Homo-oligomer: A and B are copies of this chain.
Amino acid sequence: MSLIVQKYGGTSVGSIERIQAVAKRVSKCQARGDKLIVVVSAMSGETDRLLGLAKEVMPRPQGRELDVLLSTGEQVTIALLTMALQSLGLQARSFTGPQISIVTDAAHNKARIQRIDSQRVNDALNAGEVVVVAGFQGVTEIGDITTLGRGGSDTTAVAIAAALNADECQIYTDVDGVYTTDPRIVPDAQRLNRVTYEEMLEMASLGAKVLQIRSVEFASKYQVALRVLSSFEDGPGTLISSEEIIMEDALLSGVTLNRDEAKLTMLGVPDRPGVASAILGPVADANIEVDMILQNMGADGTTDFTFTVHRNDFEAVMSILNAIAAELGARAIEGDNKIVKISLVGVGMRSHAGIASRMFRALATEGINIQMISTSEIKISVVVDEKYSELGVRTLHSEFQLERPR
């Protein structure tokens, strides 16, 4: 008998019919003899409806009272799903975050889980009940309701799986797993059977939005086996676990495309100590995150300083650079928000030399000019003109034979 935590997001419980479909799926799993804990989000649209009410009262609602308001969304879902399970003849019981003491810090709207009281959940499981838990919410030591911020329901599921030492934490979404790349770009992209936490983190941060980064970090920290599955069709999904467990010798796990970047260059800055912080300091002060950074030394004692930011911040950063250009003695400012970042991800890189050069050669063969390069232990990213987005992804996917069935 396994202990499984399942998490269903807002779309999966977006209507009474879908809630009933989730109940049927849970019922099938229980029939296999598993003990089940089901974590659910608010019905899709509900959180926005509640936020809308709050904004009618005050333009920027926040803090304690917003959490009191938003936490009702998941509470509605747990009651309805539990009723749906009961109407199928199952024993089931719902719990809000506070009811099972999902204790968090007091950072309202973005609280972090500190501990979970597993006693009430265990009691219900041992009584043969399916346990239905409200995601996204917790309670402070003094009893105030908190919410975990965006994607918080995934984190709730992983935290409960960790606290109860569950065999697996299954995240049901609208896709049937993690793919080697976006199937809309490469039709023969393959669903990965397995991927490591680190790879998943790189892929999530690079734009594959299947799982929230925080929940993957959490799963990695507590070694919770995570599985991404479709709530609309059957299938094994993708298992996300630690490297030791993954026996396949797959070199690479995927190619990701990030269209959200923009590139800025300050040309001909006289080179002296502190020039990098003089440029990036004002950007950081504006709360804008910088991704890739490249500094080229010129022959004449000047330097060209290039970096990328989120495309939404492009105009703001252009203004900042223009404001400091004269002071720094820069020759010119260049900006380009028609670039993309393509990345190759895989733990196999660690033990295989030559991946980077093979990557650059493949792109060159197709006439794709590389503007910037950045590497980590398990990924290589390049910035290219956005017109090469699909060609670049397909080239790398094919070069590293990611279309081979896994």
Q: Which residues of A contact B (CB under 8 A)?
A: 16, 19-20, 50, 53-54, 56-58, 61, 64-66, 68-69, 71-72, 75-76, 78-80, 82-84, 86-87, 93-94, 96, 98-99, 120, 143-145
Contact = CB atoms under 8 A, between A and B. Distances in A.
B53 A65 contact: no
Contact of A94 (B57, B68, B75, B76): B68
Nearest to A59: B87
Given A68-B94, A69-B75, A72-B72, 14 more contacts: A16-B56, A19-B57, A53-B76, A53-B80, A54-B80, A58-B84, A61-B83, A65-B83, A69-B76, A69-B79, A69-B80, A71-B75, A99-B145, A120-B143
When all copies of this chain in the complex are counted, the total is: 2
A215 B245 CA distance: 63
Contact of A57 (B80, B93, B120): B80
A65 B84 CA distance: 10
Nearest to A71: B75
Contacts of A65: 79, 82-83, 86, 94
Contacts of A144: 99
Contacts of A79: 54, 65-66, 68-69
A175 to B, nearest CB: 27
A58 B75 CA distance: 18
Contacts of A53: 16, 76, 80
22 contacts: A16-B53, A16-B56, A16-B57, A53-B76, A54-B80, A57-B80, A57-B83, A57-B84, A58-B84, A58-B87, A64-B94, A65-B94, A66-B79, A68-B94, A68-B96, A69-B75, A69-B80, A72-B72, A72-B76, A75-B75, A96-B145, A120-B143
Contacts of A71: 75
Nearest to A123: B142
B58 A86 contact: yes
A84 B54 CA distance: 9
Interface centre among A65, A84, A96 (most CB of B within 10 A): A65
List the 7 closest A-B pairs by CB distance, nearest first.
Answer: A69-B79, A72-B72, A68-B79, A16-B56, A58-B87, A57-B83, A65-B79
A37 to B, nearest CB: 16
A145 B134 CA distance: 14
A71 B94 CA distance: 14
Nearest to A58: B87
A85 to B, nearest CB: 10
A76 B68 CA distance: 7
Contacts of A80: 53-54, 57, 69
Nearest to A23: B57
Contacts of A98: 98
